[in-house]
């Protein structure tokens, strides 16, 4: 054995240790379709997740957390007693003044639950009895890169597997002809960049990463056969390639070979499954109206929401939609109004559509971003115009379906939405991840992967399931 093969072998043994440990637990051979767990730890209430990620940090003041005191104190200084010794970002930390900014938008109570919702979200107001509104999410991340990475991977430092990758690894797939983890982004949205690590596999094998669906004629890049290559020819090439790879694997164990083969085979099966999944031709006008006028526009948020429902119907386990543009450091009232108009009907329509098809009971829908915004204005403040900086101490998120107790409000913030007032009802990022896994039938402490001598998990060494929002 030469030096290169020795190093490959030792690396492969380390990467493959999780396979051997889990397989040895019951003496069974590993079936990728069932995942490394081979089943759930307890009865799952959700079979799949649709995560509507609002990248940039939506302002709670214009959406879900009504603070009338800010309107009364508009332009006055943020009390030192409220801020305490909390750090600020470099964008507003050098301001000589931190004037409070009240929202110009009205709130009303809706539904049997009487949940307060902003006038900017009239369609979300129709589904309040189906959602649990968490007002007290909190994080340590104060900037977008670490914040997004934390929400999606459980760590502020890049390199960990994403939520969807963990689920793919643990639970496998319900449809071998489609990827278990699909990602979509709203077309034409700018703002803070989104990196592939947010839906990446981290240190897990490559086949567990999310697959990006694009609003183009070819939704998945490099899926179709090149010109002059028939499907039978592609099949023959894959068969011969698989034979060669097995010969290679017989000489030196390399987990990347297995990952490569799995991805080749998935791509081949997707050639027939993806065109059917993205064909909206049989969707009724009544269904399209639920999602709003943008439902027929490829790449719009509403169109992606409808696509998410179609993928959920076909057994895709984790579907992630990214909608950028929530980073209102300036022009907050107009910016949030525009953002809400883009996502409100699509998100509410998705919940309604799932409910009328009997799918909401076992589909977990999540709406939220990486942090909230400050009660004070960043930059100059005017009567109806101001900016808001990043605020990690408390921010809103809602969840629906899949074992969630609808019509519930979890947690309360102080009069400035600067600190959490209900210390017994708050949800850290790790708690959020633990709760998701619990709903999917997974004990978050037992879904692990050994890497570099340590057993890692999505929730690291933290996380508590928040049962107050569960049925």
**In whole numbers, what is the pLDDT of the chain averaged over residues?**
92
Q: What pLDDT was estimated at residue 21? A: 43
- Are 320 and 183 a contacting pair, CB within 8 Å? yes
Least confident piece of the model among 252-256, 374-378, 394-398, 431-435: 252-256
Transcribe 399-458 into DSSP letters.
EESTTB-TTEEE--B-TTSSSBS-TTS-EEHHHHHHHHHHHTT--TTT--EEETTEEE-T
- Are 458 and 437 a contacting pair, CB within 8 Å? yes
Which alpha helices (DSSP H) does 219-331 contain, by range?
231-251, 255-277, 285-291, 301-313
Question: Residue 138 class from Cβ within 10 Å (0-12 exposed, 13-18 middle, 19+ buried)?
Answer: buried
Mean pLDDT of 215-230: 86
- Tokens matching residue 325: 């543009």
- Are 198 and 318 a contacting pair, CB within 8 Å? no
Least confident piece of the model among 25-29, 270-274, 354-358, 452-456: 25-29
Q: Is the pLDDT of residue 29 over 60?
A: no
Q: Is the pLDDT of residue 398 over 90?
A: yes
CA distances from 185 to 145, 233, 300 (A): 17, 33, 8
Q: What pLDDT was estimated at residue 313? A: 98
Sign of the CA dihedral running 456, 461, 466, 471: positive
Residue 118: strand pairing partners: 107
Report the SS3 class of residue 297. Answer: coil
Closest C-alpha among 331, 368, 293 to residue 124: 368
Rounded distance between C-alpha atoms, residue 423 and residue 425, angstroms? 6
Q: Is the pLDDT of residue 27 over 50?
A: no
Report the SS3 class of residue 389. Answer: strand
CATH of region 49-172+284-471: 3.40.720
Count of other CB atoms within 10 angstroms of residue 424: 7
- Tokens matching residue 255: 């987990």
Rounded distance between C-alpha atoms, residue 435 and residue 426, angstroms? 13
pLDDT in tens, 242-296: 888 888 877 877 777 777 888 888 988 999 899 999 999 999 999 999 999 999 9
Which 8-state DSSP code applies to residue 157? Answer: S
Kindly give the pairing relationship between strand 395-400 and strand 363-368.
antiparallel
Rounded distance between C-alpha atoms, residue 140 and residue 460, angstroms? 15
What's this model's pTM, rounded to 2 decimal places? 0.92
Percentage of residues of the chain with pLDDT beyond 90? 79
Residue 131: strand pairing partners: 400
Kindly provide the residue ranges of all beta strands, DSSP E only, lying in 37-106, ordered along the sequence: 48-54
The Cα angle at residue 120 between residues 116 and 125, in degrees rounded to 5: 45
pLDDT in tens, 404-445: 999 999 999 999 999 999 989 999 999 999 999 999 999 999
Rounded distance between C-alpha atoms, residue 55 and residue 326, angstroms? 6
To which residue do tokens 């799949």 refer?
Answer: 48
Q: Residue 12 — φ and ψ, nearest 5°?
A: -65, -40
Residue 367: enclosing H or E segment and its boundaries? strand 363-368
């Amino acid at each position: 054995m030469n030096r290169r093969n020795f190093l490959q072998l030792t690396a492969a043994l380390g990467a493959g240790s999780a396979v051997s440990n889990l397989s040895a637990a019951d003496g069974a051979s590993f079936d990728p379709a069932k995942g490394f767990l081979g089943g759930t730890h307890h009865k799952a209430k959700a079979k799949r997740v649709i995560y509507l990620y609002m990248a940039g940090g939506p302002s709670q003041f214009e959406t879900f957390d009504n603070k009338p005191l800010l309107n009364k104190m508009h332009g006055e200084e943020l009390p030192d007693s409220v801020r305490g010794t909390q750090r600020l970002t470099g964008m507003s930390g050098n301001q000589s003044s931190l004037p409070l900014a009240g929202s110009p938008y009205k709130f009303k109570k809706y539904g049997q639950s009487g949940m307060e919702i902003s006038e900017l979200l009239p369609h979300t107001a129709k589904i309040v009895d189906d959602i649990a509104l968490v007002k007290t999410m909190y994080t340590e991340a104060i900037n977008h890169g670490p914040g997004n990475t934390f929400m999606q991977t459980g760590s502020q430092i890049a390199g960990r597997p994403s939520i969807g990758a963990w689920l793919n690894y643990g639970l496998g797939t319900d449809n071998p002809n489609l990827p278990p983890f699909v990602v979509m982004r709203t077309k034409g949205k700018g703002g803070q960049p989104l990196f592939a690590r947010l839906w990446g596999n981290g240190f897990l094998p490559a086949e567990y990463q999310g697959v990006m669906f694009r609003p183009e004629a070819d939704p998945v890049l490099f899926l179709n056969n090149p010109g002059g290559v028939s499907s039978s020819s592609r099949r023959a090439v894959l068969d011969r390639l698989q034979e060669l790879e097995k010969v290679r694997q017989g000489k030196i164990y390399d987990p990347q070979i297995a990952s490569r083969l799995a991805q080749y085979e998935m791509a081949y099966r997707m050639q027939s499954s993806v065109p059917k999944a993205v064909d909206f031709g049989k969707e009724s006008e009544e269904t399209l109206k639920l999602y709003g006028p943008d439902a027929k526009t490829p790449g719009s948020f509403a169109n992606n929401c409808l696509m998410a429902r179609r993928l959920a119907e076909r057994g895709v386990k984790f579907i992630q939609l990214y909608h950028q543009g929530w980073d209102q450091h300036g022009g907050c009232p107009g910016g949030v109004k525009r953002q809400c108009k883009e996502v409100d009907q699509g998100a509410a329509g998705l919940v309604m559509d799932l409910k009328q098809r009997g799918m909401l009971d076992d589909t977990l829908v999540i709406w939220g971003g990486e942090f909230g915004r400050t009660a004070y204005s960043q930059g100059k403040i005017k009567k109806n115009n101001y900016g808001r900086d990043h605020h990690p101490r408390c921010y809103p998120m809602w969840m629906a379906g899949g074992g969630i107790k609808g019509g519930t409000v979890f947690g309360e913030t102080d009069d400035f939405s600067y600190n959490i007032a209900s210390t017994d009802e708050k949800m850290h990022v790790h708690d959020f991840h633990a709760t998701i896994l619990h709903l999917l039938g997974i004990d978050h402490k037992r879904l692990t992967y050994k890497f570099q001598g340590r057993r890692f998990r999505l929730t690291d060494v933290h996380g508590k399931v928040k049962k107050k929002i569960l049925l």
